[in-house]
Amino acid sequence: MSDLDNSLSWLAALKWDAEGMIPAIAQDASGRVVMFAYMNRESLLETVRCGNAVYWSRSRQRLWRKGEESGHFQKVRSIRTDCDGDVLLLAIEQVGGIACHTGRESCFFNELQGELWVPADPVLKDPKEIYAK
């Protein structure tokens, strides 16, 4: 932990897992949960500093500035923690209305119907258009 981390009592009050992560839920103004990711101390500090959601990408092992490739940034309106201090809830404004890399409004688009997971929400924009390089 850096000296900066030690000086921030709000940061030290959180319960980080063994890998230094904390779950983060992103919820839009309508109350819909649009995304779940993890944050580490660095990503949370950067989120607070810049006002846009920054997560820790476990697959890429680096900071992930939501929207860095897609342009679908998340402007953070508030950050809350649960009663145990081990989960974060980010109230966000989802720029462009798309949070999911599949081109949907939310990453939580599959619905259990009987014994099958069925996409219940439409694709708003083809991912090939979003991530064209």
User: For the chain, what is the largest distance between any 2 Cα atoms, rounded to a whole number of angstroms?
Assistant: 52
The answer to the question of residue 121 being in a domain is no
Closest CA to 96 of 88, 84, 105, 109: 105
**pLDDT tens digits, residue range 77-93?**
999 999 999 999 999 99
Does some domain include residue 72?
Answer: yes
pLDDT digits (tens, 9 = 90+) for 1-59: 444 445 679 999 999 999 999 999 999 999 999 999 999 999 999 999 999 999 999 99
What range defines the domain where residue 70 resides? 3-99
Residue 4 φ/ψ, nearest 5 degrees: -60, -45
Q: What is the C-alpha separation between 69 and 82, in angstroms, rounded?
A: 30
Domain harbouring 7, CATH code: 3.10.20.810
Number of structural domains the chain divides into:
1
pTM above 0.85, yes or no: yes
